[in-house]
């Protein structure tokens, strides 16, 4: 009996160490709400500084864009008119430089301070001096994180709160878990969320991380985050304790419950996402990987309980966007070369 009890406790500890997936019933969405609107962009021309943007965000009254190909890493624009202010930041080995392998897909601003993460585990803190138009390192806030299970390069790094960060597990040796929670205080990383078994096909064995690729966005409170799958019209909500609290299956055409083994023939669904305290905004592609991008973009709006709120069709083909709650605007960019000198601005209707 003692051995049986010990075995049970050991299994419980192992389970706790790998996060929790509750036995929850997926919510099936078969139609979107009545709020379906086509939005027309106000097109703002800017100096030819935008070149293959990697991410963008809003901090106070500034729009900030980060790049991975330009010599200058960041560009700053004044809102709401999107007036270009200045560019700052270079790659290098100096104290105020960006690490050569910084994660350009990640951009986290708080006022005039921001974090940049590199795959060697350095979470570097910078301060923006808008008067001198330069940035400098706040060394006292730099952190060296544990890189266990993160892989190289780090996949979809996100900050949840002052203590917790999360990202996708490394492609190799992920032990069957799709996500990693990084504790910056304890320096311990927790793999959690076993890969879903939505297909059960033999060919998945060596392709699971690619088939279940995802992008994520965190709630401003730091208490939960959402994870959207690229090749399934499905998404999940987790709390900061790594519990799965919602799973949403969107069965609104076009959709398929299967995934084609041929990558180019797969249906692609969820792409870039961002969020506010009330809502999550996510791009839904609704096309095969091999298809040319549509000339417009579908943005789905959800609340943090997993309820559909609205569907917007934007009249432009965009690659990135961010939300201004204050202005009730969507600010969007494209990777199309002929429109790299443009910022698209959409007014958000009342939900």
pLDDT tens figures, 292-342: 988 999 999 999 999 999 999 999 999 999 999 999 999 999 988 888 899
In-domain check, residue 95: yes
Determine the average pLDDT of the residues in 38-47: 96
- 82 lies in a domain? yes
Q: Residue 106 falls within a domain, yes or no?
A: yes
> How distant is the alpha carbon of residue 27 from its chain centre?
22
From CA 183, how far away is CA 19, in angstroms rounded?
A: 13
d(C-alpha 111, C-alpha 54), whole Å: 20
Q: Which residues does residue 347 pair with via DSSP β-bridges, in sequence order?
A: 329
Place of tokens 């692609």: 268
Which residues are CB-contacts of 97 (< 8 A; sequence separation ≥ 6)?
89, 90, 91
Nearest Cα residue to 348 out of 319, 310, 320 = 310
Q: Which helix (H) or strand (E) holds 270?
A: strand 267-275
Instruction: Give the list of residues 6+ apart from residue 207 with CB closer than 8 angstroms, or none.
Output: none
Residue 2 has pLDDT above 70, yes or no: no
Q: Which residue has the higher pLDDT, 72 or 351?
A: 72
CA 172 to CA 179: how far, in whole Å?
13
Range of the domain at 134: 27-347
pTM: 0.91
pLDDT at 14 over 70: no
pLDDT of residue 344: 97
Is 2 part of any domain?
no
* Number of alpha carbons in the 13 Å side-chain half-sphere of residue 223: 5
- Nearest-angstrom CA–CA distance, 293 and 321: 16
pLDDT at residue 340, as a whole number? 86
Do residues 138 and 146 lie in contact, with contact meaning Cβ atoms separated by under 8 Å?
no
pLDDT over threshold 50, residue 8: no
pLDDT above 70 covers a percentage of the chain that reads 93
Indicate if the pLDDT at residue 5 is higher than 60: no
Q: What percent of the chain has pLDDT over 90?
A: 75
The phi and psi torsions of 91 (rounded to 5 degrees) equal -85, 145
- Does residue 61 form part of some domain? yes
Q: What are phi and psi of 242, to 5 degrees?
A: 75, 15
Cis, bond preceding 153 (omega within 30 deg of 0): yes
99 pLDDT above the threshold of 70: yes
Number of Cβ within 10 Å of residue 156's Cβ equals 17
The pLDDT value recorded for residue 21 is 55
Among 38, 26, 27, smallest CA distance to 299 is for 38
Residues 246-274 have a mean pLDDT of 95
Specify the pLDDT at position 156. Answer: 83
Mean pLDDT over residues 97-121, rounded?
90
DSSP-assigned letters across all residues of 229-258: ESSSSEEEEEETTSBEEEEEEE--SS--SS
Structural domain tally of the chain? 1
Q: For residue 269, how far is the Cα from the chain centroid? A: 14
Query: What is the average pLDDT score of the chain?
Result: 90
pLDDT band at 20 (very low <50, low <70, confident <90, very high): low
171-228 pLDDT per residue, tens:
887 889 999 999 999 999 999 999 999 999 999 988 999 999 999 999 999 999 999 9
Instruction: State residue 18's pLDDT score.
Output: 58
69 in a structural domain? yes
In a domain, residue 223? The reply is yes
Do the domain assignments include residue 19? no
Nearest to 243 by CA among 155, 186, 181: 181
Q: Is pLDDT of 19 > 60?
A: no
Quickly state the pLDDT bin for 16 (edges 50, 70, 90).
Answer: very low
Q: What is the CATH number of the domain that holds 89?
A: 2.120.10.30
Residues in the chain: 351
């Amino acid at each position: 009996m003692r051995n049986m009890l010990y075995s049970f406790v050991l299994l419980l500890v192992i389970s706790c160490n790998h996060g929790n997936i509750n036995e929850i019933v997926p919510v099936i969405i078969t139609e979107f709400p009545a709020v379906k609107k086509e939005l027309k962009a106000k097109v703002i021309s800017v100096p030819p500084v935008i070149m293959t943007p990697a991410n963008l965000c809003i901090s106070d009254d500034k729009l900030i864009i980060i790049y991975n190909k330009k010599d200058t890493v960041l560009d700053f624009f004044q809102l709401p008119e999107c007036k270009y202010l200045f560019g700052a930041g270079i790659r290098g080995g100096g104290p105020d430089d960006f690490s050569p392998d910084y994660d350009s897909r990640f951009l986290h601003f708080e006022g005039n301070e921001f974090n940049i993460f590199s795959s060697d585990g350095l979470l570097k803190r910078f301060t923006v001096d808008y008067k001198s138009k330069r940035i400098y390192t706040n060394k006292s806030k730099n952190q060296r994180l544990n890189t266990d299970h993160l892989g190289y390069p780090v996949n979809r790094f996100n900050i949840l709160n002052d203590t917790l960060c999360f990202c996708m597990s490394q492609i190799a040796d992920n032990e069957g878990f799709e996500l990693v929670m990084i504790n910056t205080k304890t320096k311990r990383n927790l793999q959690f969320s076993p890969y879903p078994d939505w297909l059960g096909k033999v060919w998945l064995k060596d392709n699971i991380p690619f088939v279940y690729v995802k992008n994520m966005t965190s709630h401003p409170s730091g208490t939960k985050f959402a994870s959207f799958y690229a090749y399934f019209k499905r998404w999940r909500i987790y709390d900061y304790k790594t519990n799965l609290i919602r799973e949403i299956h969107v069965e609104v055409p076009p959709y398929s419950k299967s995934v084609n083994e041929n990558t180019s023939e797969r249906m692609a669904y969820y792409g870039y996402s961002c969020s506010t305290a009330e809502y999550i905004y996510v791009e839904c592609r609704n096309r095969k990987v091999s298809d040319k991008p549509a000339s417009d973009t579908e943005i789905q709006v959800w609340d943090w309980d997993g309820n559909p709120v609205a569907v917007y069709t934007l009249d432009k083909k965009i690659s990135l966007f961010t939300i201004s709650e204050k202005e009730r605007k969507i600010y969007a960019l494209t990777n199309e070369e002929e429109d790299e000198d443009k910022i698209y601005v959409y007014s958000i209707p009342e939900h």
